[in-house]
Structure 1
Amino acid sequence: MSKFHLNTQELVQGKFKAEKVNLAFVFQVNCPGCFIYGIPMMNDLYKSYKDKFGFIGVATAFEDFEYNNEANLKLLLDNGTLVGETKKYYNTQFELSNYLEIPIFPVGFDRMTPCAELLNSNKIELMCSAIPNFANFSQIEKEILVAKVKSHYAQLPVIAETFTLNQLQGTPSFIIFDENYDISGVYFGHQNEDIIKTKLEQLLR
């Protein structure tokens, strides 16, 4: 069972303590889908289950760094200020300049590490170990893959640790994990709230 690597800076809102069952929501502020589907669902689940499960939001950045940053996360949490493509979507579709469904759950910003620092640490092994069947690769295959991973991420100025170490597909992503940070489920994109809810309740039982 793989581990969830939760590497955030100091939380911007609320506090988080790993419980028996936890739900992490990884999003970007410049991601309209995260606001349309993800945040409302997380708010609903948090209202209903905050006394049973642990909840943590992680604002991350793997692109559009001028929008996806901690300063804009704070503006969102303070008054619903929108930026980039998210702002454009809500202005066009609803003529809204501020987001009405502000996150009420604990939220932190992903730990952003200079590319060279991350790739020259043992965290490169964590990144590769999240790739399916990596442990079964031959030594040569592992070395080739590590070189490809390093070459890919070397093009970025900084790397978001939670997003990258867990090799998430994109945003929004939902990760269910236990108090030992063992992952029970990973979901990417628009999700049915009942599916997430059922999985959480099953694990609690």
Structure 2
Amino acid sequence: MSKFHLNIQELVQGDFILNKVNMAFVFQVNCPGCFIYGIPMMNKLYNSFNDKVGFIGVATAFEDFEYNNEANLKLLLNDGTLVGATKNYYNTNYGLSNYSEKINFPTAFDTIISSEEFLNSDKIELMCSVVPNFSDFSEEEKVSLIKKVKSYYTQIPIIAETFTLNQLRGTPSFIIFDDNYNILGQHFGHIEEEILENRLTDFLN
């Protein structure tokens, strides 16, 4: 069973309490889809399950670093300030420059490090170890894969650890995990609220 690697800086809002069942919502502040349906759905799930499920929002950055940063996350949480493509969407469609929905759940910013620091750690090997059948690879195959992964990440100046270590496909992403950080379920993109509700209920039972 794969582990969820939650590598965050200090919480910007609220307290994350690890429970038997937990949900992480990984988003970017410069991601209109995260605001259109991701945040409202997460708020509803938090309101319904927060007495039994641990919730945490993780603002991350894999592009548009001038918008996807901790400073803009704090502006969003403080007064709903929108930036970039998200601001353009709400301004164009609704004449708004601020997000009207208050984020209820605990929220943190992803741990951000340089690619050099990332490549000089043991995190590349950690990522490769979750590749199916990696343990059965020959030493030559393991070295070759690690070399390819390192070559890829040398091209990326800034690494967001939670996003990268979990090899997420994009935002919004929803990860359900237990109190040992074993991943119980993972979803990327638009998903019906009822599906996540049912999954949480099933895991709680």
TM-score of the superposition, structure 1-length normalised?
0.96
SS in 2 for 1:12: strand
Q: Tell me which residue corresponds to 1:153.
A: 153
Q: Tell me which residue corresponds to 2:103.
A: 103
Q: Tell me which residue corresponds to 1:92.
A: 92
- Cα distance change, pair 172–135 in 1 and its aligned pair in 2 (3 A): farther
Q: Deviations over 1:56-80 (max 9, x none)?
A: 0000001110000000000000011
- 1:154-173 paired onto structure 2 within 5 Å: 154-173=154-173
Q: Distance between the aligned counterparts of 1:21 and 1:12, measured in 2?
A: 22
* Matched residue type, 1:52: K
Q: Tell me which residue corresponds to 2:199.
A: 199
Q: How many residues align?
A: 205
Q: Distance between the aligned counterparts of 1:96 and 1:71, measured in 2?
A: 20
Q: Distance between the aligned counterparts of 2:99 and 2:129, measured in 1?
A: 38
* Matched residue type, 1:100: S
Q: What is the CA RMSD across the aligned residues, in angstroms?
A: 1.1
Q: Tell me which residue corresponds to 1:135.
A: 135
- Cα distance change, pair 95–135 in 1 and its aligned pair in 2 (3 A): farther
Q: Distance between the aligned counterparts of 2:148 and 2:100, measured in 1?
A: 42
Report how far residue 83 of structure 1 moved.
0.4
SS in 2 for 1:30: coil
Q: Distance between the aligned counterparts of 1:118 and 1:30, measured in 2?
A: 24
User: Which runs of no fewer than 5 residues in structure 2 stay unpaired?
Assistant: none
Q: Deviations over 1:2-33 (max 9, x none)?
A: 10000000000000121000000000000111
Report how far residue 149 of structure 1 moved.
1.2
Report how far residue 113 of structure 1 moved.
1.1
Residues 21, 204 of structure 1: 8 Å contact kept: yes
Q: Tell me which residue corresponds to 1:35.
A: 35
TM-score of the superposition, structure 2-length normalised?
0.96
Is 1:75 the equivalent of 2:75?
yes
- Cα distance change, pair 31–132 in 1 and its aligned pair in 2 (3 A): farther
* Bigger shift: residues 156-165 or 64-73: 156-165
- Cα distance change, pair 69–182 in 1 and its aligned pair in 2 (3 A): same
Report how far residue 132 of structure 1 moved.
3.7
Q: Distance between the aligned counterparts of 2:204 and 2:197, measured in 1?
A: 11
What is the percent sequence identity of the aligned residues? 69
Q: Distance between the aligned counterparts of 2:107 and 2:150, measured in 1?
A: 29
Report how far residue 131 of structure 1 moved.
3.3
SS in 2 for 1:11: strand
SS in 1 for 2:8: coil
